[in-house]
Amino acid sequence: MGIIQKIRDGLKKTRDSLMKGLRRMLGTFTKIDEDLFEQLEETMIMGDMGADTAIEICDQLRDLVKERGITDPNDIMGLIQEITTGMLGEDEGLDLSTKPSVILVIGVNGAGKTTTIGKLCHQFKDEGKRVLVAAADTFRAAAIDQLQVWTDRSQTELVRHAEGSDPAAVVFDAITAAKARGCDVVICDTAGRLHNKKNLMQELAKINRIIDREAEGCAKECLLVLDATTGQNAVNQARLFQEVAPITGIVLTKLDGTAKGGIVISIKNELNIPVKLIGVGEGIDDLQPFEAKSFIDALFDRDLTASEEKPADAENIAEDIEDVTEDVNETVEDVTEDVAETVEDVTENVAGTVEDVTDDVAETVEDVTENVTETVENVTENVTETVEDAAENVAETVEDTAENVSETVEDVTENVTEKVDNAAEEAAETVEETAEPEPEKKKKGFFSFFKRKK
């Protein structure tokens, strides 16, 4: 089957849903007015074109309609085709201009990284290139084995380490081996999800640094694999990964399994990263270089849409209802999946944040404990020293005081003894004097009596 036919087949669901929806909606209008633009915008947003892109397409459409004086709603589809072709811009292929060239493949789990690598190996091998694959998704043993199956199929070389080993070391070994063996391309598979987002991102950043260092001067592609069935969520994923490694191109997988092919336009328009490859099936040949013209042709092919449509009889209406029911169920399923994924991501982020905060708190507590212990130690030392000094001073003072007191006591005792002695002496003298009678004194008494009488 040719490339164009594959893309057409792959885009059947999108054509059935988005393009048929747009045509149906436009068919209800007889003139171009603001009501038409509003409904158009809504239909495109529902078809996963993204709100920003839908608004931009309608703005450009208003200008073109005015500029060219268009009045027939039947001309609108042609104008949308023109505008979206302009939005997709020039095609950009993979840059494999050096030997070796390195392709780093990143993306969330289940996006289709390993399958895309398997398909790429097969294509490069067909082109006569020598390919070496690095099994840098060391998170699960099954991931390494899955890659081994693909490389065995295409008979390409694989560098693998044990499960749980450092993915950057695998990449390092792969680049060293590729240089030594003269390989043309090194393709690095990576893990989609580790136990928290922070770890995954740090790991990817490390791998990216190793490639820049070990493959300096080599052509390098960093391909972000996005699952088209996730719709607008894919744009958010791209924004997240862009922070870790500069993305050079998008691989949009599972276009065959979704009605959300409009995402291609929104990715290019909102992120300005070229879509370089598209996956249109699970087979080894189901990877195509992205060509804007073939893509838009396949998407807008009125003949294909018409041949896919059947005349409206009761049976077909029933079929249509069945289709719509299927679409609704699919949308509900997608939304449920998106919500579950978001809840998982949020839980993961919260767990990561809690872990980080716990780590920080533990570190702070450790620091504080250390500081407090040190301070307590210092204070204890100071207090001990001060107490020791004080005790010494008190002892000295007590000694001095005791000495002074004993000296004073001695002095006082001496004084008291002296005074007692003196007093005793005086008392003895007085006693002596009192014992001897004094005659003159009696005479004196007698005369004085007379003196007083006179």
Ligand X SMILES: Nc1nc2c(ncn2[C@@H]2O[C@H](COP(=O)(O)OP(=O)(O)OP(=O)(O)O)[C@@H](O)[C@H]2O)c(=O)[nH]1
| Type and span of the H or E element at 132 | strand 131-136
Residue 113 makes contact with ligand X by CB under 6 A: yes
Q: How many CA atoms lie within 13 A of 215 on its CB side?
A: 33
Inter-CA distances, 213 with 136, 204, 220, 246, Å: 17, 14, 12, 15
The binder of 13, among Mg ion, ligand X, none, by C-beta within 5 to 8 A per type, is: none
Choices 254-262, 341-349, 368-376, 442-450 (CB under 6 A): range interacting with ligand X: 254-262
Q: Give the nearer residue to ligand X in terms of CB position, either 94 or 136.
A: 136
134 binds ligand X (CB under 6 A): no
Q: Is the CB of 156 or the CB of 266 nearer to Mg ion?
A: 156
Residues 215-234 close enough to bind ligand X by CB under 6 A: 225
111 binds ligand X (CB under 6 A): yes
Minimum Å distance from CB 110 to Mg ion? Answer: 8
CA distance 250 to 232: 14
CB atoms within 10 A of CB 334: 18
Rounded to whole angstroms, the Cα distance separating 18 from 260 reads 8
Phi-psi region of 103 (alpha: psi -120 to 50; beta: other; left: phi over 0): beta
The option from ligand X, Mg ion, none interacting with 253 (CB < 5 to 8 A, set by class) reads: ligand X
Of 14, 84, 114, 138, which one interacts with ligand X (CB under 6 A)?
114
**CA distances to 150, 192, 194, 198, 253 from 202, in Å:** 27, 13, 11, 6, 25
101 binds ligand X (CB under 6 A): no
| Residue 109 sits in the site that holds ligand X (CB under 6 A) | yes
Length of the chain measured in residues = 454
Q: What is the DSSP string of 381-445?
A: HHHHHHHHHHHHHHHHHHHHHHHHHHHHHHHHHHHHHHHHHHHHHHHHHHHHHHHS--HHHHHHH
Nearer CB in complex with ligand X: 37/139:
139
Instruction: Give the interface with Mg ion as residue ranges (CB under 5 A).
Output: 113-114, 143
Q: DSSP string spanning 151-220?
A: HHHHT-EEE---TTS-HHHHHHHHHHHHHHHT-SEEEEEE-S--SSHHHHHHHHHHHHHHHHHHTTTS-E
Q: Which of ligand X, Mg ion, none does 48 bind, CB closer than 5 to 8 A by kind?
A: none
Residue (37 or 241) nearer to Mg ion, CB: 241
Nearer to Mg ion, 145 or 374 (CB): 145
Instruction: Please report whether residue 286 would count as binding ligand X according to CB under 6 A.
Output: yes
CB 260 within 8 A of CB 48: yes
Please count the other Cβ atoms lying within 10 Å of the Cβ belonging to residue 93: 13
**Which CB sits closer to Mg ion, 85 or 109?**
109
Contact flag: residue 107 with ligand X (CB under 6 A): yes
What single DSSP character describes residue 277?
E
Identify which of residues 50 and 192 has a Cβ nearer to ligand X in the complex: 192
In one-letter notation, the amino acid at residue 218 is C
Residue 82 Cβ, how far from ligand X at the closest point, in Å?
Answer: 28
- Ranked by CB distance to Mg ion, the top (closest) residue is 114
Q: Which is nearer to ligand X, 47 or 112 (CB)?
A: 112
| Nearest distance in Å: CB 277, ligand X | 10
Q: How far is the CB of 137 from ligand X (least distance, A)?
A: 6
Q: Which is nearer to ligand X, 21 or 257 (CB)?
A: 257
The Cα 208–Cα 260 span in angstroms is 31
Compute the least distance from the CB of residue 337 to Mg ion, in Å.
19
Is position 192 an interface residue for ligand X (rule: CB under 6 A)?
yes
Given ligand X, Mg ion, none, residue 262, with its beta carbon under 5 to 8 Å by kind, binds: none
The minimum distance between CB 137 and Mg ion, in angstroms, equals 5
Q: Is 110 in the site for ligand X (CB under 6 A)?
A: yes
User: Which DSSP symbol is given to 328?
Assistant: H
Q: Which of 57, 134, 135, 143 binds ligand X (CB under 6 A)?
A: 143
Identify the DSSP state of 81: H
Please tell me whether the peptide bond between 100 and the residue prior to it is cis, using omega within 30 degrees of 0. yes
Among 14, 17, 84, 253, binds ligand X (CB under 6 A): 253
The yes or no reply on residue 163 touching ligand X (CB under 6 A) is: no
The residues pairing with 157 across neighbouring beta strands, listed in sequence order, are 132
Among 13, 15, 160, 254, binds ligand X (CB under 6 A): 254
Binding-site member from 257, 297, 323, 338 for ligand X (CB under 6 A): 257
Q: Is 289 in the site for ligand X (CB under 6 A)?
A: no
List of residues contacting ligand X (CB under 6 A): 107, 109-115, 137, 143, 192, 225, 253-254, 256-257, 279-282, 286
